Amino acid sequence: MQSVDKASVVKALRDLGAYLQLNGENAFKVRAYDIAAERIAGLSEELGPLVAEKRLTALPGIGESIAKKIEEFVSTGKMETLDTIRAQFPPKMLELMTVPELGPKKAKALFDQLGVGSLDDLERACREQKVRGLKGFGQKTEEKLLAGLEIARRAASSGGRKRLGDVRPQAEALLEWVKQAPGVIRASLGGSVRRQRETVADVDLIASAADAAPVFAHFQKFPLVAEVLGAGESKSSVRLKETDLQVDLRVLPDEDFASALHHFTGSKAHHIKLRGLALEKGLTISEWGVFRMKDGAVAQAGVARHENAEAKLPVRTEADLYALLGMQEVPPELREDWGEIEAALEHRLPVDLVGAQHIRGNVHSHTTWSDGANSLEEMARAAKALGFTYFTVTEHSQTSGYAGGLTLDRLKAQWDEIDRVSETVKGIRLLKGIESDILEDGRLDYPDEVLEQLDVVIGSIHQRHGQDEAQMTKRVLAAFDNPFLHIWGHPTGRLINKREPAPMRMEEILDKAAKKGVIVEVNGCPDRMDLAPEHVRLALARGLKLSVSTDAHSVNELSAHLPFALASARKGWARVGDVVNTLDADGFLGALRQR
């Protein structure tokens, strides 16, 4: 007998189910393979003896015919039915099934009519606009498939973690939906989304109501639900269309809401440390609430046991929970066990983390002068409507020709336009800026006498990301020697789930930024969120100032990007005073010139 592990049996069954689906096999038959796969995956005993003793069919969900196939696979390492059906398709055919919005029928149609047999094929067919011509597809489907394709690729390259920027809009829409459910008293997002992690595996929602059933019924009717994955007494899970996101909703009586919200917000590391502390104080914390333990129970176990719990303590809010431990309330973004528990015990957690209400000016934005979608006037009016008191235009510089970078002549023509728009749009101050490339050797993209005339100079790396750590570090350090550089833009150049941060000796670079008075950007483009929180902390530890920037390329991004910059900054413990664009325009310009 071959030794075949459970995981390969599970995969064989799942693959066979998927191929049968492609071939239009009926849903019950397909589902039977999925059920069998799940059953095997969840087995606590070894597969070998089960097969040898012909006990497979005794497992619920495994019938005669599937049992035979498993036996064949375990004893020969092959499953003939699977091999036969697999041979009918290109080797990467099943990749296609990971694209949200692409069901088996559509996948089969694409294969039959266009020969699409992999993600790459699909991308090509969409880009060449061949898909829209097929019966039942159309231009909209083609666009959705392209978007879904990117999600599938990212998921494959990131172990299934999705970018916060892709997830949050749906998560928030679903929260609003749940708040409308009958009987809901309180509801909140939890988990990594609430903690503003840059990537998330799934979404956690917590709600309180006297009766959970009608809340779950409403939840499952959310228009974007693709599939209901499970429904228990206190938890229901769904998978959403477009993003392929899983969402877990928990519904509890209102008196348990705060402790459940706290539990399902995490992080796990934060909880582990907190629970240890609680035990020392004779308390146990769990998803069920906070309990005082019977006398002597602490010494006895070191492990919390329910039978040792005496009284459940009232926890109306998360602040109550922290107060029971003699601590400051820890904001969700900070709950990562990055030192926040120690700080909260000593009451030295920052109470003035930067928030949207503190941001007075928009920094870093593009218009149709380079690669933006809206005119300068439209951007200025939108920024004003959002309550910004100043707006910095920072187009790309000449080397970034691909992004409409401004030649010297165009830059000067743009200054005239800025003056003209300043005349027509009153009540917001327009600042003349540039996002200059940091060239390969660290020079900026215009001569000093031009840079000198600008209000705001951001220096960013856009090309040659592939330099090694030594070259990249040298390049950035050299850029800081230019006295006209004010802000270091999207410092690491990473694109979340797409491009790794450029290799560089960050601490050495931040040391020099501190010495030279260079301000570090926290870029709010959801692909970037750059600096990341851990680097924000390193910067703040050196007394550096931050610019919380939108990098808006359209009117919409002026408001849509700010929360992501704030998320990264807050998660890195940034306070109001650490951020230069919480100052008014004169204060901001003054801060840039302290170097």
Residue nearest to ligand DGT (CB): 266
Q: Which residues pair with 396 in a beta bridge?
A: 435
Least CB distance to Ca ion at residue 264 (A)? 8
Asked if 400 is part of the footprint of Zn ion (rule: CB under 5 A), the reply reads no
Asked if 266 is part of the footprint of ligand DGT (rule: CB under 6 A), the reply reads yes
- Could you give the residue ranges of the DSSP H alpha helices within 469-542? 469-480, 506-516, 533-541
Asked if 200 is part of the footprint of ligand DGT (rule: CB under 6 A), the reply reads yes
Tell me the Cα Rg of the chain.
28
Q: How many of the chain's residues bind Ca ion (CB under 5 A)?
A: 4
The window from 45-53, 266-274, 292-300, 346-354 that contacts ligand DGT (CB under 6 A) reads 266-274
Instruction: Please give the residues from 474 up to 493 whose contact with Ca ion meets the rule CB under 5 A.
Output: none
Which one of residues 394, 399, 460, 550 is an interface residue with Zn ion (CB under 5 A)? 460
Toward ligand DGT, which CB reaches closer, 201 or 386? 201
The window from 44-52, 260-268, 507-515, 556-564 that contacts ligand DGT (CB under 6 A) reads 260-268
Q: Which partner from the list ligand DGT, Ca ion, Zn ion, none does 460 bind, CB cut-off 5 to 8 Å by kind?
A: Zn ion
Residue with token string 């939906």: 177
Asked if 204 is part of the footprint of ligand DGT (rule: CB under 6 A), the reply reads yes
Least CB distance to Ca ion at residue 180 (A)? 23
Asked if 336 is part of the footprint of Ca ion (rule: CB under 5 A), the reply reads no
Cα–Cα distance for residue pair 457/534, rounded to 1 Å: 25
Residue with token string 């689906």: 21
Decide if 48 contacts 1 (C-beta within 8 A): yes
Least CB distance to ligand DGT at residue 334 (A)? 13
Q: Work out the angle between the directed axes of helices 376-385 and 408-424 (0-180°, nearest 10).
A: 40
Cα–Cα distance for residue pair 123/140, rounded to 1 Å: 15
Asked if 568 is part of the footprint of Zn ion (rule: CB under 5 A), the reply reads no
Residue 468's identity, in one-letter code, is D
Stated as kind and residue range, the H or E segment containing 188 is strand 186-189
DSSP 8-state class, residue 488:
E
Residue nearest to Zn ion (CB): 460
Asked if 202 is part of the footprint of ligand DGT (rule: CB under 6 A), the reply reads yes
Least CB distance to ligand DGT at residue 570 (A)? 17
Three-class SS state of 514: helix
The window from 163-171, 269-277, 457-465, 562-570 that contacts Zn ion (CB under 5 A) reads 457-465
Q: Which partner from the list Zn ion, Ca ion, ligand DGT, none does 264 bind, CB cut-off 5 to 8 Å by kind?
A: ligand DGT
Query: % helix / strand / coil in the chain, to the nearest 5?
Result: 50, 15, 35
Q: How many CB atoms lie within 10 A of CB 470?
A: 11
Q: How many of the chain's residues bind ligand DGT (CB under 6 A)?
A: 14
Toward ligand DGT, which CB reaches closer, 324 or 514? 324
Q: How many of the chain's residues bind Zn ion (CB under 5 A)?
A: 1
Q: Which pair of tokens denotes residue 200? A: 């998330």
Q: Torsion angle of alpha carbons 535, 537, 538, 544, nearest 10°? A: 110
Decide if 369 contacts 411 (C-beta within 8 A): no
Stated as kind and residue range, the H or E segment containing 519 is strand 519-523
Asked if 523 is part of the footprint of Zn ion (rule: CB under 5 A), the reply reads no
Which one of residues 142, 204, 336, 435 is an interface residue with Ca ion (CB under 5 A)? 204
Three-class SS state of 67: helix
With CA atoms as reference, report the closest residue to 267 among 350, 195, 315.
Answer: 195
| Burial zone of 128 (CB within 10 Å; 0-12 exposed, 13-18 middle, 19+ buried) | exposed
Toward Ca ion, which CB reaches closer, 15 or 202? 202
Q: Which partner from the list Zn ion, ligand DGT, Ca ion, none does 271 bind, CB cut-off 5 to 8 Å by kind?
A: ligand DGT
Residue nearest to Ca ion (CB): 191
Least CB distance to ligand DGT at residue 288 (A)? 12
The window from 31-39, 53-61, 114-122, 195-203 that contacts Ca ion (CB under 5 A) reads 195-203
Q: Work out the angle between the directed axes of helices 64-76 and 6-22 (0-180°, nearest 10).
A: 130
Q: Which partner from the list Zn ion, ligand DGT, Ca ion, none does 526 bind, CB cut-off 5 to 8 Å by kind?
A: none
Asked if 332 is part of the footprint of ligand DGT (rule: CB under 6 A), the reply reads no
Least CB distance to Ca ion at residue 203 (A)? 6
Decide if 337 contacts 266 (C-beta within 8 A): no
The contact mask relative to ligand DGT for 272-311 (x = CB under 6 A, - = no) is: x---------------------------------------
Q: Which pair of tokens denotes residue 519? A: 């301000």
Decide if 545 contacts 579 (C-beta within 8 A): yes
- Could you give the residue ranges of the DSSP H alpha helices within 42-163? 47-52, 64-76, 80-86, 104-114, 119-127, 138-157
Asked if 202 is part of the footprint of Ca ion (rule: CB under 5 A), the reply reads yes
With CA atoms as reference, report the closest residue to 553 among 431, 415, 375, 298.
Answer: 375
First to last CA, the chain: 74
Asked if 35 is part of the footprint of ligand DGT (rule: CB under 6 A), the reply reads no
Please provide the DSSP assignment of 268-304 as one string: HHHHHHHHHHHHHTTEEEETTEEEEEPTTHHHHHSS-
Cα–Cα distance for residue pair 486/591, rounded to 1 Å: 9
Which one of residues 64, 223, 230, 268 is an interface residue with ligand DGT (CB under 6 A)? 268
Q: Which pair of tokens denotes residue 86? A: 């697999």
Least CB distance to ligand DGT at residue 279 (A)? 13
Least CB distance to ligand DGT at residue 162 (A)? 9
Instruction: Please give the residues from 165 up to 194 whose contact with Ca ion meets the rule CB under 5 A.
Output: 191-192
The contact mask relative to ligand DGT for 176-195 (x = CB under 6 A, - = no) is: ---------------xx---
- Could you give the residue ranges of the DSSP H alpha helices within 115-252? 119-127, 138-157, 164-179, 191-194, 212-220
Q: Which partner from the list Zn ion, ligand DGT, Ca ion, none does 260 bind, CB cut-off 5 to 8 Å by kind?
A: none
Least CB distance to Zn ion at residue 397 (A)? 10
Which one of residues 271, 381, 545, 561 is an interface residue with ligand DGT (CB under 6 A)? 271
Least CB distance to Ca ion at residue 235 (A)? 13
Least CB distance to ligand DGT at residue 160 (A)? 9
Query: Which residues are near ligand DGT by CB under 6 A?
Result: 191-192, 197, 200-202, 204, 263-264, 266-268, 271-272
Query: Which residues are near Ca ion by CB under 5 A?
Result: 191-192, 202, 204
Query: Which residues are near Zn ion by CB under 5 A?
Result: 460
